[in-house]
Structures are given as C-alpha cells and as structure tokens.
Amino acid sequence: MTKKLFVSAISKFLLGVVLVGLLLFLPAGTVRWPGGWLLMAILFLPMFAAGIFMMVKNPALLQSRLKAKEEQRTQQAVVKLSGLMFLCGFILAGLDFRHGWFPLPDWVRYFAAVLFLAAYLLYAEVLRENTWLSRTIEVQEGQQVVDRGLYGIVRHPMYAVTLVLFLSMPLVLGSLIAMGAFLAYPFLITARIRNEEQVLEKELAGYAEYQKKVRWRLIPYLW
C-alpha cells in the first residue's frame, strides 16, 4: 500500500458519495428520503469495506479498479452513456419522490436492497476469482484466462452481477420512472461485451478456446 494509492482511493470514494448524494437529494428537495439513504448505505458501505480490504490484501487489484480511462472508442461511448443513464436515473428518482408520481410499496424497496447486497457478495467472489479484473478493457502482463467458478458458467460474471446491481437501484429508490432510464443498461453492457471479446480474442492467449468451452456470455441459456 502506498500513500498515493490511499489518497487516490479515498478521494474517488468521497467524490462518489458527494456526487450521488447531490444527484439524489437535490431533485428530491429534501434529505428526508428513506429510499435515498437506503441506497447510499448499501452502495457505499460495502464499497468502502471492499476498498479497505483490497488496499491491504491486493493493492494491485485496487489500482486496476481505480483506473477509468478507456482506450477503445466503443468503450468510451459506453462509459459516457452509462454516466448519462445514472444521471437521468437518479434525478428522475428524486423528482419521483418529491412529487409522488408512482411510489412503490416499501416491501419492493427492501426486497431490492436484499437483492442488491446479494449481488454485491457475488461481485466480491468475481474479484476473488479473477485478480486481473480492470475497469478498462485491456490485457495485462501475465494475464491468463480464468475458467473456474463463476467463469465456468458465463464468460462475463462481473457484468452479469452489475446487471442485477444496477437494475435493482431504481427499485431501492422506490421509483418506477427511474427504472426506465436504467433499462438502457442491458443494451450498453451488450455493446461493451461484444467489443471486449474482440480485444480478448486478439490479445489474450487461450480466450478463443475458452469461448468454445463456456458458451454463454451473460445469462445461461439466453445469451
């Protein structure tokens, strides 16, 4: 662990907390929004714990997770559109709470929160299985194909988990309208996966054989 990595990780974490908080509570017109605080808690508390764990046990993995600059044009577009999705989704959820357009029952929010946390645990398992995971599309020095565990079921378990994470967010916030924005994510992640696999086929030894071994990309028996 280095001081520079620590400062970078904490800075990005705090920036995320402030940014999401503003996007949620400013449109809501109040901080008295249980759904908003519920999402903040289940999103950032596990993230903080995971960051501390990686900082102590695997700083290299944390460093790769902090890297966000994409080199591929397709991936740059996906990142920008994903940011727009979150922007619209959080603002719509805040406005939905403020005006009471289509409120969802409390049990939906709590069920979605449990689903979100379960997906977070699977995300941690993906990180444990594949220490080469990066936020950007790249092949690292010494990287090998991982075909065990969740990677023996689908080729992109991390994206499968984020699908559950992101689609449960508007439900945690109790906003049916915000779900409309987040439904863009399956299409965005599909474009990301197609481009990523083109890169891996060319640059990662053994990946073509892995594709034949594990047929499904994201959801077993569907795609």
- How far apart CA 32 and CA 18 sit, in angstroms, is 16
Q: What is the pLDDT of residue 51?
A: 78
- How far apart CA 176 and CA 217 sit, in angstroms, is 28
Q: What is the pLDDT of residue 71?
A: 66
Percent of the chain with pLDDT over 90: 53
Q: What is the pLDDT of residue 218?
A: 92
Number of domains in the chain: 1
User: Residue 76 falls within a domain, yes or no?
Assistant: yes
The boundaries of the domain holding residue 104 are 3-213
User: Residue 220 falls within a domain, yes or no?
Assistant: no
Q: What is the pLDDT of residue 202?
A: 86
User: Residue 223 falls within a domain, yes or no?
Assistant: no
User: Residue 61 falls within a domain, yes or no?
Assistant: yes
Within 8 A by CB and 6+ apart from 111, the residues are: 171
User: Residue 219 falls within a domain, yes or no?
Assistant: no
User: Residue 79 falls within a domain, yes or no?
Assistant: yes
CATH number, residue 83: 1.20.120.1630
**b/e burial code for range 125-142 (CB count within 10 A of at least 16 → b):** ebbebbebbbebbbeeee
Residues 22-71: pLDDT tens digits? 999 999 999 999 999 999 999 999 988 887 877 877 777 667 666 666 66
Residues 153-194: pLDDT tens digits? 999 999 999 999 999 999 999 999 999 999 999 999 999 999
User: Residue 102 falls within a domain, yes or no?
Assistant: yes
Residues 90-146: pLDDT tens digits? 999 999 999 999 889 999 999 999 999 999 999 888 888 887 676 555 566 667 888
User: Residue 74 falls within a domain, yes or no?
Assistant: yes
- How far apart CA 95 and CA 37 sit, in angstroms, is 15
